[in-house]
Amino acid sequence: MTASDLAGALVLRLHGARDLRLTEEEAPKPRAGEALVAVRAVGICGSDLHWYSEGSVGDAAIVRPLVLGHEASGVITSGGRAGQRVAIDPAIPCERCEPCLLGRRHLCIELQFAGHGQTDGALRSLLAWPERHLVPVPDALDDLEVALLEPLGVALHAIDLGRPRLGGTVGVIGCGPIGLFIIALARLAGAATILASDALAHRVAAAQSIGADHAVQAGPGSAAELLRAIDGRGVDVAFEAAGNSEALDAAIEMARPAADVIVVGIPAGDRFSFSASVARRKGLDIRLSRRMADVYPRAIDLVAKGRLDVRALVTDRYPLGDAAAAFASAARRDGIKVLVEPSHTQPEAAA
């Protein structure tokens, strides 16, 4: 990258619900402890879609034009690590609060997170980011695979919370990228039978191709249909990965007594509801999954050693100039995983 390349940076900002604007801004200047990164690929996440569609996610609302994007790969262009390919860890914990000191940095009280609140994210050509949160990656991983390490990490964290048993049964409600990664990881963890459902037929098919033994379209009676495949016994752990109350009710219905239910999805309007009597009668342990813990080394190892084909989930790729079309496609849920490539100028077909 030359000095002229660094004169300006293309930046995509969200000004309000469905109001994305691409502008050229001055290239960011790294502060002490930061490095400049040329962003190569950025995945569009479900939380990005909440920002895009609603102008908010959970209890956080847009207060100024915000750069989205937290699933990102890049190349360092400044300092002693110039030329190094990295995964951009989107979470910057304070390292001082009680959760941080207990090793639960993903629960940091003062966490800064790329593309959330006041912290701009990676949907831009150049990004200044703390060096200690730029994770080196092996050459065996391409830029798209590196960008997918973050959602894979979210799924890994959910699997850690659910602790699927060797030879046990797992249910996954919602087969977007996170749900599909959970299915693949549950298989690697030794689950003998995996049940899955999604409202979209092409995602049901994706669930079957990535490792689900039985997958159906979500709807009235779908949980009971899946349970019939295992003689109605109920699963050892059920993952809600769709972000709606119907999916949570289905996960609760599928869970056996004393099972774990892991809530991974983010609901519209920041609200879940569920049938309390069923959950109480079964004595379920319902746990909420928050982003990911320190799992990057494991995620990198799984992909680098060929244990998991994350690239298979990529269905659409867009240059930064077509990011509005990328978000519209992701919001329609036509495919599985949509990525934006700031270093490319023309749309490319999915690999």
**DSSP character for 18?**
T
Question: Is 119 strand, coil or helix?
Answer: strand
In CATH, what number is assigned to the domain containing residue 198? 3.40.50.720
CA 228, 230, 231, 236 torsion-angle sign: negative
301 is a domain residue: no
**Same domain membership, residue 162 and residue 244:** yes
Question: pLDDT tens across 283-332, in order?
Answer: 999 999 998 888 999 999 999 999 999 999 999 999 999 999 999 999 99
Q: State what percent of residues in the chain have pLDDT above 90.
A: 87
Question: pLDDT tens across 234-277, in order?
Answer: 999 999 999 999 999 999 999 999 999 999 998 888 889 998 99
Question: pLDDT tens across 16-57, in order?
Answer: 999 999 999 999 999 999 999 999 999 999 899 999 998 888
**Same domain membership, residue 142 and residue 160:** no
pLDDT band, very low/low/confident/very high, at 344 (cuts 50, 70, 90): low
- Between the CA of residue 182 and those of 144, 276, 325, what are the distances in Å? 19, 25, 28
Are the C-beta atoms of 213 and 187 separated by less than 8 Å?
A: no
β-strand partners of 285: 260
Owning domain of residue 28: 5-147+309-341
**Same domain membership, residue 119 and residue 16:** yes
**Same domain membership, residue 156 and residue 124:** no
**Same domain membership, residue 159 and residue 129:** no
**Same domain membership, residue 161 and residue 50:** no
Number of domains in the chain: 2
**Same domain membership, residue 156 and residue 143:** no
Does residue 149 surpass a pLDDT of 60? Answer: yes
Q: Which of 45, 18, 89, 15 is nearest to 266 (CA)?
A: 45
**Same domain membership, residue 161 and residue 122:** no
**Same domain membership, residue 126 and residue 14:** yes
Question: pLDDT tens across 48-89, in order?
Answer: 999 999 888 878 888 899 999 999 999 999 999 999 999 999
Residue 175's contacts (CB-CB under 8 Å, 6 or more residues apart) are 183, 196, 197, 198, 200, 203, 204, 206, 207, 212, 215, 241
**Same domain membership, residue 161 and residue 135:** no
**Same domain membership, residue 169 and residue 125:** no
**Same domain membership, residue 189 and residue 131:** no
323-332 vs 46-54: helix crossing angle, rounded to 10: 100
Residue 5's contacts (CB-CB under 8 Å, 6 or more residues apart) are none
Q: What is the pLDDT of residue 7?
A: 62
